[in-house]
A and B are shown apart, each in its own frame.
Chain A
């Protein structure tokens, strides 16, 4: 059981310098020595809980729902690049800056049967709205049947592929990215 420790020790200092790296996924596991310290030291245990709570709170307030107008902005892409270009014109300019076209278009290399490219509800970071707008192409398809999706809505689609920015990945996914993507991606 953790006990009060009025004088922070060297172990306390080390523990507190390491917990952020652990909480943000930079290190895969808490070293046994640090884990043992956490169970012994009430102050550090509380500090850990506070950091964890803060991290979760930040994660929740950093996301807001995208306006419904965006949900309705479905882009049909029979000939992806050209149609996306046409349909993007209907999106609210404030939500769809010119860079979206450039960012979304390279991702539309799907065979014609995956015809539905849509912008729909995503989560975004308040401080980085532009980054969110750049990340929300959606391809819908009838997953199990392997047949093309509806041209003008999600009706009939059993599965929807939703593209998200790397910055929204969980810590475990970030570690996986590093494993397979030759180093941490630049926007992590």
Chain B
């Protein structure tokens, strides 16, 4: 049996399944039967499954160092490969032209990041999943509100409002340690269905980075002695990116615990894609440089002839520990 890209029948099947499954969830709400149903649901499908075509407007709110930032964006997604994204406003003002350029160049990854990929089987191992409500609406559509409580200390609680009819995540909230909403992504209006583009849809985004064979790397990648608790490495590939008028090859690994994910890159230090290597410490310790923005940690270090970098919604300390575990085979 061959598996091709998802087509309309896949999408219809996925939508129908979600409607049935979430309808069942809704029916069982309140009688203590959520857990087994969620587990059954986990074995059969996931939020990472085929998504139906949709277009709409969504708001992204992020609480960053006490400051609330709000961006509004227009989305077109044909459920296959055509994705369009248009930045409409930043903190209530029209975006600067330069901001739009950045937005467009990173738009495909931005969209992927804002569309939750919940691997239900892994998520159930690492999170307690419960139904918070079956009576809330988002963008005028009936939803089931799921809550993912991490079993690992320090991880964020995530709530997802799933559209009963289509299975799309219409709202995603991440909570901080105090239970306050640290970030929220929610549709203000959405229309599901219709793969063909229409006038007014956002322009198609640039293609994602091309992949290459492992032999394109000029170094032997390091390997981690062990991963982080709850996280599994689910993808390893080599991507090529344009940088300083040339092509740079990076090894990219994706790790996930079923809800959250982070990336680890390896590059040749001479490419300096992650900046100049930090100078050695007087004691010879490896310096891991870290930046943190909006709850996202970015770390990089150079050792053993490779540049290692990690990016994700985890504390710097955890990602730093993981980078420290990478060593030659």
- A residues sitting closer than 8 Å to B (CB atoms) are 21, 25-30, 48, 52, 106-107, 109-111, 114, 120-121, 139-141, 143-144, 146, 153-166, 168-186
Contacts and interface: CB of A to CB of B under 8 A. Distances in A.
A121 B287 CA distance: 11
Nearest to B65: A106
Contact of B287 (A162, A176, A182): A162
Contacts of A185: 64, 293-294
B62 A182 contact: yes
Contacts of A168: 275, 291
Contacts of A111: 317
Nearest to A109: B315
Question: Could you say which of B62, B67, B289, B291 has the most chain A C-beta atoms within 10 Å of its C-beta?
Answer: B291
Contacts of B296: 177, 180-181
Contacts of A52: 244-245
A183 B69 contact: yes
Residue from B90, B105, B113, B241 having most chain A Cβ neighbours under 10 A:
B105
B290 A178 contact: no
A175 B209 CA distance: 13
B4 interface: no
Contacts of A156: 283
Given A160-B286, A178-B106, A181-B293, 9 more contacts: A52-B244, A111-B317, A143-B286, A159-B287, A173-B298, A175-B106, A182-B62, A183-B69, A183-B99
B101 A21 contact: yes
Contact of B275 (A48, A140, A169): A169
B60 to A, nearest CB: 5
A154 B282 contact: yes
A181 B71 CA distance: 12
Nearest to B279: A121
B244 to A, nearest CB: 7
Given A28-B105, A170-B275, A184-B99, A160 B285 contact: yes
Contact of B290 (A29, A141, A161): A161
B283 A157 contact: yes
Interface in B263-289: 272-275, 278-279, 281-283, 285-289
Contacts of B67: 186
B280 to A, nearest CB: 10
B99 to A, nearest CB: 6
A177 B293 contact: yes
A179 B247 CA distance: 20
A182 B183 contact: yes
Contact of A154 (B244, B281, B293): B281
Nearest to A56: B244
Contacts of A165: 291
A27 B294 contact: no
B54 to A, nearest CB: 20
Contacts of A163: 290-292, 316
A182 B70 CA distance: 9
A143 B300 CA distance: 14
B283 A154 contact: yes
A109 B298 CA distance: 17
Contacts of A143: 286, 320-321, 323-325
B165 to A, nearest CB: 27
Given A21-B101, A107-B292, A183 B71 contact: yes
Given A30-B245, A161-B320, A180 B286 contact: no
B11 interface: no
Interface string B241-255: 111110000000000
B93 to A, nearest CB: 13
Given A163-B292, A175-B102, A30 B298 contact: no
